[in-house]
Every structure is written in C-alpha cells, then in structure tokens.
A and B are shown apart, each in its own frame.
Chain A
C-alpha cells in the first residue's frame, strides 16, 4: 500500500507537471540517435507538429500511407519539418533513409 500522504503528493505532481509539459511542446517530436521521440504522439485536430533532427545523420519524416499524406525533405542536423494535422486519424510515418525508424501521430 502506498501511504496516503505520498499518493496525494504524486497526484499533486501530476497536476503540476501535465500542463507544464503540454505548454513546453504542443506538438514536438525530437529525432535522437536514430529514433523518433515520442514514438507515438497524440494531438488535437489543427495541431502543428514539428520534428527536429538532433542527429549528425540526415533523416526524413515520411507518411507511411499508400498515398503519403506528408513528406519532408532530408533534414540535416538541427533542421526542422512541420505539418498541420487537420483531420482526425492515426498517421504512421517513418524515415525513408533509415526505414527502421518509425513513429505515429494520433489526431483526436
């Protein structure tokens, strides 16, 4: 059993952290060491999602749909790509240079 006081502390921390995290990054995906973070991002309709490449290797952000919904050019170090999601759905994407790198944007 978690002591009551500690539970209250955790709840308070969650209350404090959640709005802070959202304010810092409404729709941001970091590319670090050949992976997308977060691998799955949930955003509201109309959100502009921005990917930033922190690696020394170039990466791309390409929709995995049969007819790609979005497709970035190659992003060099510290370059960004942004896409505004205007429709609900589950958008899988990958790096077309390193196709093992995959991510998902869930638009609610």
Chain B
C-alpha cells in the first residue's frame, strides 16, 4: 500500500491553506456581491429573506440507506433537514439536491428518499452523486429524479430571474481521474449560455466540486476549467456542489464556489489523517455538522445571499 504522498510536505502546506478556507461556524451568512463574498453574523447586520425576495434551498448527500457510525438513521436526519426548511422565515421557491440522494442506489433507498422528499411539498431539482449511479449508469436515479427531455442527465431552467444549470460529473469516471463532465455536456453548456445577458445571475449545481478542492481524495472535476471558461463573462456566478460533506468556499473572479454540508454524515477536512470516509464524530456533535443552505436573490442588488443552517447546535 502506497500512502507516501499523504504526509508529504506539499500536502501539509496545501492542508494549511485549505484549513484557512474552511468556514464552519453556526448562523453565518454570506453575501455574494460582484463575486466577492462578505460574511455577516446572523442577528447583527445580517440579511434575512423575509421581504418577498426569490429564495431557494440547497440540500445534499442525504445517503439514504447509510446506517453506520456516526449516523444510524439517515432517513431521520433528512426529515429533520426538511423540517428546518419548513421553519425558514420565507418559504423557498424550490429545492436543489446536489446528489448522493442514496448510499447504494438500491430501489428501496430511492423509494424512501422520494417518499420523504415529497413531504416537503416543494419543487425539487436533482443532480446525481456517484452513489446514485452504481447501477445501469444511473438509470434508476434518472427514472425517478431526472428531468424530462434531458439527454445525459444535465439540464437548465430559469426561475426568479436566475439561470440554473444542473451538471452531471459522476459518470464515466476514468482510472486515476476526478469528476468528469465530458465533451457532449461541455458543448451543451456552451450552447446553453450563448446569447444570454452577462447580467443574468447564474447558478451552476453539480455533485462533485467544480474546483480542485483536494485531488488526492478525488475532490475535483477533471474538465471543470473548460466548462467554467464559458461562465467568466457573467457578472454573478454561484457554483453549488456537495460530495465533501462540509462547507468550503472559494472565489475566482466573478465565480463563487460553495460546497455544502450533508444531511447524513460529515467528512473530515482535506488531508486529515482520518481519511475521506464517513467521519465518526461523537453523537452529540453530529447534528452541528449536518445542515441545509438557504440562498436568496436580492432584487436590484445583483447579489446572492447564502445562509448555512446546521441541524443542531
């Protein structure tokens, strides 16, 4: 077994940098304006979506069927996440689920997920995680959660003045590689964005991070750079991902990247000695490391506001 790179000096340096990027507080709000996020403490000058602004919610990595340490009941924590959505001051217009709906792509896991998610009574848009496409290249997932008329699983739609793009980067993964979009999807994206006004706020969502968070653990997407090249001309681009079960963010020009918490179990910070599997945190800490994210468009301000809502203290 060769784990030689894990403890090397470059890896350690990278870890320090990434640790600086970690934001793991409770009730902090990000305002994305002109591509530069600014954090505000809730309760102070923080913005809250109560004035009829367009808002939506991101949930991720519900891993239905996972029942080991640290979470014996992933159904219960997904239900709690939906309850948190129900408690938001303003009912969201819709929900984005950024993948790993199930743990093992089993029919009963898809069924349970569909039944639980239905109780939120909210329009929900999905992209698959690698755990959702373990059977038949994701056919069972796309049959339940796919978008009609989409070939390949990717799609876009407009809502609340925002152009949403759902990408699939968990299929046809190549030996030694990371997440993968593939040429047909990238060409589709180029055509989809062509002719749109640069002032249209864009939200891109996919499962695996669209930037190299930590390639040693496969946390990135091989051909993300080409896809992102078509987004550079837009004034406000927000990229929402899951997969790494923790909140990390990065800004590149007008593009802000945000990874989300899971509703099932946390994963450790990049490069942490515990490795990339489910992080066996103590039971009394679990809920504070799971969560949902509310995103709000503030009309006239050309800004998106992100609020991270953990499932417990």
Give residues in A with beta carbon < 8 Å to B: 32-39, 55-58, 60, 64, 73-74, 76-77, 92-94, 96-100, 102
Contact residues on B (Cβ < 8 Å of other chain), bracket: 20 to 34
In Å, the complex CA distance between A63 and B276 comes to 23
Contact in complex: B176, A98 (CB < 8 Å)? no
- A56 and B131 CA atoms in complex are apart in Å by 13
A64 to B103, CA, bound (A): 24
Q: Is B204 an interface position by the 8 A CB rule?
A: no
Which of A38, A74, A77 interacts with B1 by CB under 8 Å? Answer: A38
Residues of B within 8 A of A98 (CB): 130, 218
B278 & A94 in contact (Cβ 8 Å cutoff):
no
Tell me whether A94 and B176 are in contact in the complex, defined as CB-CB below 8 angstroms, given that A55-B277, A58-B104, A74-B105 are known contacts.
yes
Cβ–Cβ contact B1 & A37, under 8 A: yes
Alpha-carbon separation in the docked complex, A96 to B179 (Å): 11
Whole-angstrom distance between the alpha carbons of A35 and B275 in the complex?
Answer: 11
Taken residue by residue from 164 to 175, chain B's Cβ proximity to chain A (1 for < 8 Å, 0 otherwise) reads as: 000000000111
B134 touches A34 (CB 8 A): no
Q: Is the CB of B104 within 8 A of A100?
A: no
In the complex, 8 of the A-B residue pairs with CB atoms within 8 angstroms, ordered by the A residue number, are A37-B1, A64-B175, A74-B135, A77-B68, A99-B175, A99-B178, A100-B178, A102-B175
- Inter-subunit contact B218/A56 (CB<8 Å): no
Q: What residue of chain B has the Cβ atom nearest to residue A96's Cβ?
A: B173
Residue of B2, B105, B275 touching A39 (CB-CB under 8 A): B2
User: Is chain A's interface secondary structure helix, strand, loop, or mixed overall?
Assistant: loop
Contacts of B176 in A (CB 8 A): 94, 99-100, 102
Closest Cβ of chain B to A14, distance in Å, is: 21
Q: Tell me if B217 counts as interface (CB < 8 A to partner A).
A: yes
Could you say which residues of chain A place their CB within 8 Å of the CB of B178? Answer: 99-100
CA distance A39 to B2 in the complex (A): 7
Contact B134 A58 (CB under 8 A): yes
Interface core residue of B1, B216, B217 (most chain A CB under 10 Å): B1
Q: Which of B265-309 contact A (CB under 8 A)?
A: 275-278
With the chains together, A57 CA to B218 CA distance in Å?
Answer: 14
Q: Contacting A97 at CB < 8 Å: which of B3, B134, B216, B277?
A: B134
Contact A34 B2 (CB under 8 A): no
Chain A residues within an 8 Å CB radius of B135? 73-74
Known: A35-B3, A58-B103, A102-B176. A97 touches B217 (CB 8 A): no
Q: Check A99 against B174 for contact (C-beta < 8 Å).
A: yes
Q: Are A33 and B105 closer than 8 Å at their CB atoms? A: no
Q: Which residue of chain B lies nearest to A36 when distances are taken between CB atoms in the complex?
A: B1
Interface mask (B105-136 → A, CB under 8 Å = 1, otherwise 0): 10000000000000000000000001100110
- In the complex the two chains form, is B275's CB within 8 Å of A33's CB? yes
Q: Which residues of A contact B175 (CB under 8 A)?
A: 64, 92-94, 99, 102
Interface contact B68-A100, CB-CB below 8 Å: no
Assembly CA distance A61 to B130 (angstroms): 15
- Residue numbers in B under 8 Å from A34 (CB-CB): 217, 275-277
Given the complex, which residues of B lie within 8 Å of A92, measured CB to CB?
175
Give which listed residue, A38, A39, A73, contacts B134 with CB less than 8 A. A73
